[in-house]
Amino acid sequence: MGAGFRIMSAPQHRPETLVHSASLPGHRVEFGREAPLVLDSRAELGPFTMAYQTYGRLDEDRANAVLVCHALTGDQFVAETHPVTGKPGWWETMVGPGKPIDTDRFFVICVNVLGACMGTTGPRDVNPATGRPYGLSFPVITVADMVRAQKLLIDHLGIEKLFCVTGGSMGGMQVLQWAASHPDRVFAAVPIATGARHSAQNIAFHEVGRQAIMADPDWCHGDYVAQGRNPRRGLAVARMAAHITYLSEAALHQKFGRNLQDRTRVTYGFEADFQVESYLRYQGSSFVDRFDANSYLYLTRAMDYFDLAAEHGGVLANAFRGTPVRFCLVSFTGDWLFPTSESREIVHSLNAVAANVSFVEIESDKGHDAFLLEEPEFAKTLSGFLKGSAAHRGLR
Amino acid sequence: MSAAVDVRPPPRAAQPLRRDLALIAEMIPSASRVLDVGCGDGALLEHLVHERGVDGRGIELSQAGVNACVARGLSVIQGDADTDLKDYPSDAFDVAVLSQTLQATRAPRKVLGQLVRIGRRAIVSFPNFGHWRVRWRLLHDGRMPTTASLPDAWYDTPNIHLCTILDFEDLAAELGLTIERALVLDSYGTAKALGSMRLANWFGEQCIMLLRRG
């Protein structure tokens, strides 16, 4: 994601493969060697690696841990310069010393999700059983599987109860799944700009992205890593289409209008005449340097499959019956990917079981990406909720 | 795990609570579960949570009010008394509070019914349209009355369903509710438990009722 306004030509350096994840900074642990992880699909995965990053210090009671769940194309580098792109961490607006998720106070953990490509095992990695990259033989992952894997790590870190689990978009889905699957392990949950299920429209957008990747001859039916190729064009188009859904018409209009790119008149051709085209091309081409095409297929699929109510007899409230978790839901007025109505539906279900819930809608025309950007009202909300929850939890 | 889960938040430097809210707070048992419907900026909730150890939740129509409440650490959602109370299960709260909001709802009878369903008890406060000053304005000036508790002009007021204390008493009876306590506030904010409702209807500018089913 990241909607920073940069208009640049495509980078010249085009590595055929991504930075090898073993060279990335941060922590990693291996799981599933003795007993494999059983996934929703009934497939078994193991051994596998979880790559994660932490900020701040875990207190003696191990009570101050905040698990941040990243979105579709995010990763564990929440609050530090990204080792691949050199850009600021994706949530430095919210996480850091003195920030709402204050690393002077909280111990922040962010885990690269299962199926991703920043160190946690995903389709790009070598299947130990065959000695070849998994490719499409990697099992389909669900949001619940991501949470299963994260729970292994939280157990491994000796954290009995997370003070808070938070995240936006796909991260918010993980937050809801955590609260539903492990209500005794989560004190407070902050699902942001998310929904309890992926809508038909959102599945449709994802399908466009997947088809773009699969239409690229370099995709090689998912076997491109073994064949030394990379479906850059397909992945770039997928990213371009998705990026539009992260913004809003107002944001696009304000940023670009119909402004032309480095020219005074249209060229009567198909170059990037308009700034908005140039911007999207840049977003697409820079994305492929840090993301794996098959990971994109798997993670979009995980979001599409997410339907928390379906797991609970079709009644979302059943997912939260008797929950002790304190919830704070946040939506943004300009978000058309996960509009406020999606959050409100979750709120209604939480009310139906008399759960402890706060819900704010933040006025913003920045689209879905608003949760990643400077939004003072959002920061105040998150900060206030966490302070109130910390007081209830008896944190220092 | 040594961090106790139910440690109460440290008390804050308490701001003086508005008089009618303080009277409502006195009717609420400590450490009870309370839903404040139309909680505004959260003044009552904050008092209840911090001073009385109440497990408090709020619903507020205005988004600005909600955001202010959540930023203060209160559990508040944006919602509408007319449409959103039906989601809550019966007897979910010890007390459901509706302060200075009933007269602004579209269907006060339904809202009141929901309130006593969700809460084992309900506390309702409202401006009394039977107050002598209101009657006098209408009788003497022949114009829609504006008073301290009804400050808006007729075309501006959110109060679309005003009632008198006697009207409210009738509705409570119709819904099979028992009025456990009734307090009226005069124009100076002095609380009185006037023995007769007829007298209260003349001299109470605002009224606070504690109700229960049956």
Q: What's the pLDDT tens digit per position in B23-42?
A: 999 999 999 999 999 999 99
- What distance in Å separates the CA atoms of residue B10 and residue A333, rounded to the nearest whole number? 34
The answer to whether residues A91 and A190 belong to one domain is: yes
Residue A140 lies in a domain: yes
pLDDT value at residue B5: 40
Catalytic residue among A145, A248, A368, A389: A368
Of A249, A272, A299, the position where a domain reaches its end is: A299
Domain range enclosing A122: 21-199+307-393
pLDDT value at residue A20: 65
Write out pLDDT tens, residues A367-391: 999 999 999 999 999 999 999 999 9
The answer to whether residues A255 and A360 belong to one domain is: no
- What distance in Å separates the CA atoms of residue A12 and residue B172, rounded to the nearest whole number? 77
Peptide bond into B29 cis (omega under 30): no
Among A61, A351, A359, the residue with its CB nearest the CB of B3 is A61
Q: B186 falls in which pLDDT band (50, 70, 90)?
A: confident
pLDDT value at residue B14: 55
Residue A7 lies in a domain: no
Structure tokens at A80: 């530090």
Mutate to test the interface with A, among B6, B41, B45, B67 (most CBs of A within 10 A): B67
Residue A2 lies in a domain: no
Residue A148 lies in a domain: yes
β-partners of residue A191 are A167
pLDDT value at residue A221: 97
B9/A388 Cβ within 8 A: yes
User: Which residues of chain A are within 8 Å of residue B120 when distances are taken between CB atoms?
Assistant: none
The answer to whether residues A232 and A342 belong to one domain is: no
The answer to whether residues A170 and A261 belong to one domain is: no
* pLDDT > 90 in chain A, percent: 93
- What distance in Å separates the CA atoms of residue A86 and residue A387, rounded to the nearest whole number? 32
The answer to whether residues A104 and A208 belong to one domain is: no
Query: Could you tell me which residues of chain B have a Cβ less than 8 Å from any Cβ in chain A?
Result: 1-10, 55, 57, 63, 66-67, 69-79, 84, 87-89, 92-93
The answer to whether residues A240 and A364 belong to one domain is: no
- What distance in Å separates the CA atoms of residue B101 and residue B3, rounded to the nearest whole number? 39
Phi and psi, residue B135, nearest 5°: -60, -40
User: Which residues of chain A are within 8 Å of residue B8 when distances are taken between CB atoms?
Assistant: 391-392
pLDDT exceeds cutoff 60 at A157: yes
CATH number of B19-213: 3.40.50.150
pLDDT value at residue A39: 98
B198 to chain A, minimum CA–CA distance in Å? 39
* pLDDT > 70 in chain A, percent: 95
pLDDT exceeds cutoff 80 at A77: yes
A383/B75 Cβ within 8 A: no
User: Which residues of chain A are within 8 Å of residue B71 when distances are taken between CB atoms?
Assistant: 380-381, 383-385
- What distance in Å separates the CA atoms of residue A154 and residue A162, rounded to the nearest whole number? 8
A322 to chain B, minimum CA–CA distance in Å? 11
The answer to whether residues A184 and A164 belong to one domain is: yes
Q: A90 falls in which pLDDT band (50, 70, 90)?
A: very high
Q: Are strands A37-38 and A44-45 parallel, antiparallel or unpaired?
A: antiparallel
Write out pLDDT tens, residues A229-283: 999 999 999 999 999 999 999 999 999 999 999 999 999 999 999 999 999 999 9
pLDDT exceeds cutoff 70 at B104: yes
β-partners of residue B93 are B119
Which CATH number fits the domain that encloses residue A382?
A: 3.40.50.1820
The answer to whether residues A161 and A194 belong to one domain is: yes
Is A75 noted as a catalytic residue in this protein?
Answer: no
Q: Say how many Å lie between the first and final Cα of chain A, rounded.
A: 34
- What distance in Å separates the CA atoms of residue A357 and residue A290, rounded to the nearest whole number? 37
pLDDT value at residue B191: 77
User: Which residues of chain B are within 8 Å of residue A359 when distances are taken between CB atoms?
Assistant: 66, 76-79
> What does the pLDDT average to over A279-297?
96
A394 to chain B, minimum CA–CA distance in Å? 5
User: Which residues of chain A are within 8 Å of residue B7 when distances are taken between CB atoms?
Assistant: 391-394
Residue type, position A2, single letter = G
pLDDT value at residue A179: 98
- State the pTM of this model: 0.91
Of A299, A323, A350, the position where a domain reaches its end is: A299
Q: A119 falls in which pLDDT band (50, 70, 90)?
A: very high
β-partners of residue A132 are A127
- What distance in Å separates the CA atoms of residue B169 and residue B163, rounded to the nearest whole number? 10
Tell me how many residue pairs between chain A and chain B have CB atoms under 8 A apart: 94
Residue A9 lies in a domain: no
Query: Could you tell me which residues of chain A have a Cβ less than 8 Å from any Cβ in chain B?
Result: 61-63, 160-161, 187, 326, 328, 347-348, 351-354, 356-363, 377, 380-381, 383-385, 387-389, 391-395
Helix (H) or strand (E) holding A41: none
Residue type, position A118, single letter = M
B80 to chain A, minimum CA–CA distance in Å? 12
Among A347, A348, A393, the residue with its CB nearest the CB of B3 is A393
pLDDT exceeds cutoff 50 at A15: no
The answer to whether residues A81 and A183 belong to one domain is: yes
Q: B149 falls in which pLDDT band (50, 70, 90)?
A: confident
Which CATH number fits the domain that encloses residue A219?
A: 1.10.1740.110
Residue A11 lies in a domain: no
pLDDT exceeds cutoff 90 at A396: no
B63/A361 Cβ within 8 A: yes
The answer to whether residues A152 and A114 belong to one domain is: yes
3-state SS class at A10: coil
Mean pLDDT of chain A: 94
Catalytic residue among A75, A102, A292, A335: A335
Please report the beta strands in chain A, taking only residues with DSSP state E, as ranges in sequence order.
27-31, 37-38, 44-45, 48-55, 65-69, 95-96, 101-102, 107-111, 126-127, 132-133, 162-168, 186-192, 326-332, 356-362
Is A9 noted as a catalytic residue in this protein?
Answer: no
User: Which residues of chain A are within 8 Å of residue B1 when distances are taken between CB atoms?
Assistant: 61-63, 160-161
Among B3, B9, B77, the residue with its CB nearest the CB of A358 is B77
pLDDT exceeds cutoff 80 at A7: no
Of A248, A264, A299, the position where a domain reaches its end is: A299
DSSP B25-82: HHHSPTT-EEEEET-TTSHHHHHHHHHH--EEEEEESSHHHHHHHHHTT-EEEE--HH
Domain borders along chain B are: 19-213
Q: A211 falls in which pLDDT band (50, 70, 90)?
A: very high
pLDDT value at residue A327: 98
Is A335 noted as a catalytic residue in this protein?
Answer: yes
B74/A63 Cβ within 8 A: no
pLDDT value at residue B3: 42
B75/A357 Cβ within 8 A: yes
Residue A155 lies in a domain: yes
- What distance in Å separates the CA atoms of residue B187 and residue B168, rounded to the nearest whole number? 20
A391/B72 Cβ within 8 A: no
Q: A19 falls in which pLDDT band (50, 70, 90)?
A: low
A328/B70 Cβ within 8 A: yes
B70/A381 Cβ within 8 A: yes
Cβ(A287)–Cβ(A73) under 8 Å? yes
Residues 6+ apart with CB under 8 A from A116: A75, A122, A295, A299
Phi and psi, residue B60, nearest 5°: -140, 140
Among B69, B72, B77, the residue with its CB nearest the CB of A357 is B77
Three-point CA angle A64, A142, A19, nearest 5°: 75
User: Which residues of chain A are within 8 Å of residue B67 when distances are taken between CB atoms?
Assistant: 360, 362, 377, 380-381
Cβ(A71)–Cβ(A371) under 8 Å? no
The answer to whether residues A175 and A47 belong to one domain is: yes
B78/A392 Cβ within 8 A: no
CA-derived radius of gyration, chain A = 21
Among B67, B92, B93, the residue with its CB nearest the CB of A381 is B67
Phi and psi, residue B7, nearest 5°: -65, 135
Domain count, chain A: 2
